[in-house]
Amino acid sequence: MIYFEHVTKKYEQSEGDKTEALSDVTLHIKPKEFVIVVGHSGAGKSTLIKLINCEIRADEGKVYVGGIDYKELKKRDIPYLRRKIGVVFQDYKLLPKKNVFENIAYALEVSGVKSKDIKTRVPKILEVVGLQKKEKNFPKELSGGERQRVAIARALVHNPRILIADEPTGNLDPRNAWGIIEILIRVNQLGTTVMMTTHNQEIVNKLKKRVVVLKNGKVTKDQATGVYEE
Amino acid sequence: MSNFLRLFKTGLSSFRRNGWLSLASITIMVLTLITMSLFLIVNVVLNTGIQTIQDKIDISVYFNDNAKQKDIISLQDSLAELKEVKSIKYISKEDALAKYRKQNANNPKLLESLKDTENPLPPSLEIKVTTPDKLGALTKVFDEEQYKPYIHKVSYKENQAIIDKLFKATQFTKQVGLGATAVFTATALLIIFNTIKMTIFARREEVDIMKLVGATPNFIKGPFIIEGAIYGIISTFISLLVIAIFLYFLSPALINYFGGVGDSLSDFFLDNIFALVFAQLFVGVLIGVLSSWLAVRKYVKLN
């Protein structure tokens, strides 16, 4: 499903001075897997997600997602790729001038889904994330946990085969954080591949899922039912 | 069609929800359109005035009494063939007297004095030229030897200095008007473009989010472009309303100070209201659309 082969990504700090965010990373995530990527700030977790979502391109190595070789991917095809991947961000990235319904509907509108279908699909996904009564609210009127649920609903509304969650519990209190994790587990049980980055030790250790540890841009551990060790 | 409707709805709702930013863009656009329109109206009225003055500039060639009518008609025919001549009219001694009597109908003493004398008025040719700069060239014809015995006086020569000054002044006014319009239009475009650019800059994060959920560049640009068009449409109607109110209240004052100018402005506005609406809509929508398109283009680029 997701395949990184000797991937290196460097960022230019100043002219001619580059730092490696990912260094020779090889990683294979199978369909329907639930993978947690852990690591400190600057370990390369966000770079990994940006590469999957094609926000940036690898300097070396190959990235394949859903059978697509990103080296061969043309710029104009990036939007179509993103519609196949659901992404949840730590800072939610909701459109501030759109209400809950419109934020979720937007992901369908960009794919050309008919208004009639949007009107039936959005309420269903709102039910999944438990926000049926909030569809008219704007993001600023919601709590952090509710905003993250909207972001998850938007990521799931077009039934993606892959769901990427970048620190989805980073800004939430423990109760809301577990609410979000429960939704991700349910989605995974329904057959969606889930890749989540976090540095929340408690969540990682309770989930008992595959854990990939990133340190200074390198994969240092990859365990089937791993734990998070400092 | 449904996609266009969706983009239109999104553009409209985005316009409503971005209240202050929309207001800022519309204010700048209204001010620009008002100034441009007033400039255009004043320019047109000024040009009409200049044209009226130019139309009044003509040459009168007065003939001696010994000039035969056939010689004058022959000169008239040859002058009529010249491209510099717009119109030419022969005024016989009798016509000149009739005209004089008509002009002085209210002055019986003057008319009485003409009774006992022979008609003292000379026959003449009244010539209108296509443009005042052709006057000088045309008067040279009357210096030719063959016409000298008949011609008593050429009126242009007497007023040559004034006419030349007037001609230079009208040319200067036209050039300055044209230059100022061009400079002002360019400045206005730049101001509007930058205002819209700033409003889109303030919303660049929204554009980034749209890209992340899989929107194509055109899908993102659509509502922004529609918003730009809405700015143009609303600004057009506000600016026309303001101009109408302005002219309604200002015309009497202008008439007091500058004679008929106030009337000319109002008349021009009313006579050309549809052309003005169309021109402003065209300019307003074009500026709004173009500015939005150029401004948002930078942010929708993909890696």
Section B60-74 average pLDDT: 85
Please enumerate residues of A whose Cβ is less than 8 A from a Cβ of B: 53-57, 75-76, 78-83, 87, 89, 93-97, 106-107, 109-112, 114-115, 154
Task: Evaluate whether the domain defined by B58-157 bears CATH number 3.40.50.970.
Answer: no
CA distance B297 to B190: 17
Q: State which of A69-78, B59-68, B253-262 shows the largest mean pLDDT.
A: A69-78
B16 touches chain A (CB under 8 A): no
Please give the backbone phi and psi of residue A49, each rounded to the nearest 5 degrees, phi first. Answer: -70, -40
Q: Which pLDDT tens digit goes with each residue over A173-192?
A: 888 888 889 989 999 999 99
Q: How far apart are CA B190 and CA B97, in angstroms?
A: 63
Least confident of A89-103, B19-33, B205-219: B19-33
Could you give the strand order of the β-sheet that contains A34-38, starting from the edge strand earlier in sequence? A85-88, A162-166, A193-198, A34-38, A210-215, A218-223
Beta-bridged to residue B272, according to DSSP, are none
Contact state of B210 with A110 under an 8 Å Cβ cutoff: yes
Asked whether the beta carbons of B129 and B55 are under 8 A apart, the reply is: no
* pLDDT score of B157 more than 60: no
Cα torsion at B160, B164, B166, B169 (round to 10°)? Answer: -170
Whether B302 sits inside 8 A of A76 (CB atoms) is yes
Give how far Cα A191 sits from Cα of A3, A30, A32, Å: 18, 11, 5
Do B26 and B235 meet the contact criterion of CB atoms below 8 Å apart?
yes
Categorize the per-residue pLDDT at B207 as very low, low, confident or very high, splitting at 50, 70 and 90. confident
CA distance A88 to chain B (A): 10
Residue B1 sits at the chain A interface (C-beta within 8 Å): no
Residue of A123, A118, A173, A120 whose CA lies nearest to A148:
A173
* pLDDT recorded at residue B262: 58
The full set of domains in chain A, from first to last, is 30-54+82-223 (3.40.50.300)
B214: left (phi over 0), alpha (psi -120 to 50) or beta: left
Q: Are A9 and A70 in contact (CB under 8 A)?
A: no
How many C-beta atoms lie closer than 10 Å to residue B78's C-beta? Answer: 10
Picking from B285, B279, B161, B272, the residue whose alpha carbon sits closest to that of residue B232 is B285
Chain B: give the shortest CA distance to residue A76, in Å. Answer: 8
Place of tokens 């930058």: B194
| Ranges for all domains in chain B classified under CATH 3.30.70.3040 | 58-157
B6 CA to chain A: closest CA distance, Å? 8
pLDDT confidence band for B118 (50 / 70 / 90):
confident
Distance from CA of B206 to the nearest CA of A (A): 6
**B8 interface with A at CB cutoff 8 Å:** no
Nearest CA in chain B to A107: B213
Give Cα B125 to chain centroid, integer Å.
32
* B105 contacts: CB under 8 Å, gap ≥ 6: B111
Q: Report yes or no: B302 at the A interface, CB cutoff 8 Å.
A: yes
More confident residue, A126 or B137: A126
- Rounded CA-CA distance A87/A153 in Å is 10
Predicted confidence (pLDDT) per residue in A68-110, tens digit: 899 889 989 999 999 999 999 888 999 998 999 999 999 999 8
pTM confidence score: 0.68
pLDDT: which is higher, B36 or A39? A39
The CA distance from A100 to A140, in Å, is: 10
Over pLDDT 90: what percentage of chain B? 1
- What's residue B151's pLDDT? 85
Check residue A138 and report its DSSP letter.
-
Mean pLDDT of A10-30: 88
Q: Is the pLDDT of residue B102 over 60?
A: yes
Tell whether B194 lies on the interface with A, counting CB pairs under 8 A: no
The answer to whether the CB atoms of A107 and B214 lie below 8 A apart is: yes
The pLDDT assigned to A212 comes to 94
In B97-241 the beta strands, taken as DSSP E runs, fall at 124-129, 151-154
Q: Is the pLDDT of residue A121 over 80?
A: yes
List the single best residue of A49, A55, A141 to mutate versus B (max B Cβ within 10 A).
Answer: A55
User: Contacts of residue A115 in chain B, CB cutoff 8 Å?
Assistant: 2, 6
